[in-house]
Amino acid sequence: MSDEQIWTYVLVALSFGLYIGIAIWSRAGSTKEFYVAGGGVSPLANGMATAADWMSAASFISMAGIISFAGYDGAVYLMGWTGGYVLLALLLAPYLRKFGKFTVPDFIGERYYSKTARVVAVICALIVSFTYVAGQMRGVGIVFSRYLEVDINTGVVIGMVIVLFYAVLGGMKGITYTQVAQYCVLIFAFMVPAIFISIQMTGNPIPQLGFGDTLSDGSGTYLLDKLDGLSEELGFAAYTDGSKSTIDVFAITLALMVGTAGLPHVIVRFFTVKRVRDARKSAGLALLFIAILYTTAPAVAVFARTNLIETVSGKEYANMPEWFNRWEKTGLIAHEDKNGDGKIQYVASPEVNELTVDRDIMVLANPEIADLPAWVIGLIAAGGLAAALSTAAGLLLVISSSVSHDLIKNVLKPDLSEKGELWAARISAALAVVVAGYFGINPPGFVAAVVALAFGLAAASFFPAIILGIFYKKMNSKGAISGMVVGLCLMLFYMLKFKFGIFDGGKEAVDVLQESWWFGVSPEGFGSIAMLVNFIVAIVVNKFTAEPPEEVQEIVENIRVPNQAGEASGH
Other residues' Cβ atoms within 10 Å of the Cβ of residue 340: 6
Strands 355-357 and 333-335, bridge-based pairing:
antiparallel
Backbone angles phi, psi at 13, to 5 degrees: -65, -45
pLDDT of residue 305: 92
Higher pLDDT, 422 or 552: 552
Tell me the residue type at 489. C
Q: How confident is the model at residue 569 (pLDDT cuts 50, 70, 90)?
A: very low
pLDDT of residue 24: 73
According to DSSP, the residues that pair with 214 across neighbouring strands are 222
The b-or-e profile of 21-41 (16+ CB within 10 A means b, else e) is: ebbeebbbeebbbbbbbbbeb
One-character DSSP codes across 186-205: HHHHHHHHHHHHHHHHHS-S
CB 312 within 8 A of CB 343: no
CB 446 within 8 A of CB 62: yes
Separation of alpha carbons 461 and 513, rounded Å: 25
- Residue of 458, 461, 398, 452 lying closest to 429 (CA atoms): 398
pLDDT of residue 286: 87
Task: Give first-to-last CA distance, the chain, whole Å.
Answer: 59
The b-or-e profile of 169-186 (16+ CB within 10 A means b, else e) is: bbbbbbbbbbbbbbbbbb
Superfamily of domain 3-569: Sodium/glucose cotransporter (1.20.1730.10)
- Residue of 436, 314, 308, 326 lying closest to 374 (CA atoms): 326
Looking at the predicted structure, is the pLDDT value of residue 421 above 80? Answer: no
- Residue of 75, 481, 529, 122 lying closest to 294 (CA atoms): 75
Separation of alpha carbons 415 and 524, rounded Å: 42
Separation of alpha carbons 156 and 508, rounded Å: 26
CB 196 within 8 A of CB 51: no
Q: How confident is the model at residue 509 (pLDDT cuts 50, 70, 90)?
A: low
CB 440 within 8 A of CB 159: yes
Looking at the predicted structure, is the pLDDT value of residue 37 above 50? Answer: no
Separation of alpha carbons 34 and 283, rounded Å: 21
Q: DSSP letter at 544?
A: T
Mean pLDDT, to the nearest integer, of 275-282?
78
| Domain ranges for the chain | 3-569
**Of the listed ranges 116-130, 208-222, 480-494, the one predicted with least confidence:** 116-130
The Cα angle at residue 381 between residues 378 and 386, in degrees rounded to 5: 130
According to DSSP, the residues that pair with 357 across neighbouring strands are 333
Looking at the predicted structure, is the pLDDT value of residue 101 above 80? Answer: no
